Amino acid sequence: MTAASTAVRHTFEPHGTARDLFHCRAPEVLLSGPAGTGKSRAAMEKLHMLALMNPGMRGIILRKTLASLGSTALVTWREWVAKEALAAGVVKWYGGSPQESPQYRYTNGSAITVGGMDKSTRIMSSEYDVAYAQEAIELTEDDWEAITTRLRNGRISFQQLMADTNPSVPTHWLKQRADRGDTVLLDCRHEDNPVLFQDGVLTERGQDYIGKLDKLTGVRHLRLRRGLWVAAEGLVYEEYDPRVHLIDRFEIPEDWTRWWVVDFGFTNPFVMQWWAEDPDGRLYLYREIYHSRRLVEDHARHALRQVRRCATCCGSRARAHDCHTCEDCRLVWAEPKPRAVICDHDAEDRATLERHLDMGTSAAKKTVSDGIQAVQARFKAAGDGRSRLFIMRDAVVEQDTALADAKRPTSTEEEIGGYVWDQQPGKQPKEQPIKADDHGMDAMRYMAAELDLGGRTRVRWL
pLDDT in tens, 266-295: 999 999 999 999 999 999 999 999 999 999
Residue 199 belongs to a domain: no
Q: What is each CA distance from 259 to 220, 373, 396, in whole angstroms?
A: 36, 20, 16
Give mean pLDDT, residues 448-458.
Answer: 77
Give mean pLDDT, residues 132-156.
Answer: 94
DSSP letter, residue 78: I
Q: Are residues 41 and 182 in the same domain?
A: yes
Q: How confident is the model at residue 460 (pLDDT cuts 50, 70, 90)?
A: very low
Q: Are residues 278 and 353 in the same domain?
A: yes
Amino acid 1: pLDDT: 46
Q: Are residues 176 and 70 in the same domain?
A: yes
Amino acid 190: pLDDT: 92
Q: Are 271 and 263 in contact (CB under 8 A)?
A: yes
Q: What is the pLDDT of residues 303-352, one digit of tens each?
A: 999 999 999 999 999 989 999 999 999 999 999 999 999 999 999 999 99
Q: Is the pLDDT of residue 64 over 60?
A: yes
Could you list the residue range(s) of the whole structural domain that residue 169 is in?
A: 2-192
Q: Which CATH number do you get for residue 176?
A: 3.40.50.300
Amino acid 233: pLDDT: 77
Q: Are residues 181 and 267 in the same domain?
A: no
DSSP letter, residue 128: B
Burial class (CB in 10 A: 0-12, 13-18, 19+), 71: exposed
Higher pLDDT, 241 or 27: 27
Report the C-alpha gap between 205 and 87 in whole angstroms: 27
Q: Are residues 386 and 277 in the same domain?
A: yes
Q: Are residues 184 and 256 in the same domain?
A: no
Provide the mean pLDDT of the chain: 91
Q: How confident is the model at residue 461 (pLDDT cuts 50, 70, 90)?
A: very low
Q: Are residues 74 and 186 in the same domain?
A: yes
Q: Is the pLDDT of residue 187 over 80?
A: yes
% of residues, the chain, pLDDT over 70 = 97
% of residues, the chain, pLDDT over 90 = 73
Give mean pLDDT, residues 134-138.
Answer: 92
Amino acid 218: pLDDT: 76
Residue 421 belongs to a domain: yes
Q: Are residues 382 and 443 in the same domain?
A: yes
Chain-centroid distance, C-alpha 263: 24
Q: Are residues 366 and 261 in the same domain?
A: yes
Report the C-alpha gap between 74 and 371 in whole angstroms: 50
Of 156, 173, 192, at which residue does a domain stop?
192
The radius of gyration of the chain's CA atoms, rounded to the nearest angstrom, is 26
Amino acid 115: pLDDT: 93
Q: Which CATH number do you get for residue 355?
A: 3.30.420.280
Residue 30 belongs to a domain: yes
Amino acid 5: pLDDT: 45
Amino acid 2: pLDDT: 46
Q: Are residues 108 and 257 in the same domain?
A: no
Of 192, 207, 229, at which residue does a domain stop?
192
Give mean pLDDT, residues 228-256.
Answer: 90
Q: Is the pLDDT of residue 457 over 70?
A: no
Q: Is the pLDDT of residue 458 over 60?
A: no
Q: Is the pLDDT of residue 217 over 80?
A: no
Of 192, 219, 235, at which residue does a domain stop?
192
Q: What is each CA distance from 230 to 178, 226, 414, in whole angstroms?
A: 15, 10, 10
Q: What is the pLDDT of residues 291-315, one digit of tens each?
A: 999 999 999 999 999 999 999 999 9
Which amino acid type is present at position 162?
M
Residue 440 belongs to a domain: yes
Q: Are residues 168 and 286 in the same domain?
A: no
Give mean pLDDT, residues 431-436.
Answer: 90
Residue 207 belongs to a domain: no
Higher pLDDT, 42 or 243: 42
Q: Are residues 111 and 17 in the same domain?
A: yes
Report the C-alpha gap between 170 and 417 in whole angstroms: 6
Higher pLDDT, 81 or 406: 81
Q: Where are the beta strands (DSSP E) in 100-225?
A: 103-106, 111-116, 130-133, 160-165, 184-187, 197-198, 201-202
Beta bridge partners of 9: 4
Q: Is the pLDDT of residue 14 over 60?
A: yes
Amino acid 272: pLDDT: 98
Q: Which helix (H) or strand (E) holds 307?
A: helix 296-307
Q: Is the pLDDT of residue 168 over 80?
A: yes
Give mean pLDDT, residues 190-206.
Answer: 90
Residue 303 belongs to a domain: no
Residue 132 belongs to a domain: yes
Q: What is each CA distance from 9 to 3, 76, 81, 257, in whole angstroms?
A: 6, 18, 11, 57
pTM: 0.73
Q: Is the pLDDT of residue 106 over 50?
A: yes
Number of domains in the chain: 2
Report the C-alpha gap between 185 and 189 in whole angstroms: 13
Amino acid 53: pLDDT: 95
Residue 139 belongs to a domain: yes
Amino acid 160: pLDDT: 98
